Amino acid sequence: EIVMTQSPATLSVSPGERATLSCRASQSVSSNLAWYQQKPGQAPRLLIYGASTRATGIPARFSGSGSGTEFTLTISSLQSEDFAVYYCQQYNNWPGGFTFGPGTKVDIK
């Protein structure tokens, strides 16, 4: 089973600042990596798939990079609506199943 880790667990950022979130896989997942945003009481929302492709309707301030085992989600200038929990997910290890990271909470500094 591929284990996903995320760092930091919590990231405190001021509005307008840049946020950089990391995700690591225990073995290569190629570019089969997605990022999701989840706000309290809501379902997750797909932000990035294929490690770097923004999903439909996602603002350009969200960008993804990386391949293999190391991935990054960058939010270039945090808006108030971006404070949420962010999860990475690998979908490369099939049929072994999909695995999510534990999440990074982005909160207001």
Partner 1 sequence: EVQLVESGGGLVQPGGSLRLSCAASGFTFSSYAMSWVRQAPGKGLEWVSAISGSGGSTYYADSVKGRFTISRDNSKNTLYLQMNSLRAEDTAVYYCAKAKAAAGLVNAFDIWGQGTMVTVSS
Q: Which residues bind partner 1 (CB under 8 A)?
A: 32, 34, 36, 38, 43-46, 49-50, 55-56, 87, 89, 91-92, 94-95, 97-103
**How near is the Cβ of 94 to partner 1 at its closest, in Å?**
5
**How near is the Cβ of 44 to partner 1 at its closest, in Å?**
6
Q: In this structure, are residues 6 and 88 in contact, taking their beta carbons and an 8 Å threshold?
A: yes
9 vs 16, which CB is nearer to partner 1?
A: 9
3 vs 77, which CB is nearer to partner 1?
A: 3
16 vs 95, which CB is nearer to partner 1?
A: 95
How far is Cα 78 from Cα 81, in angstroms, rounded to an integer? 8
**How near is the Cβ of 34 to partner 1 at its closest, in Å?**
4
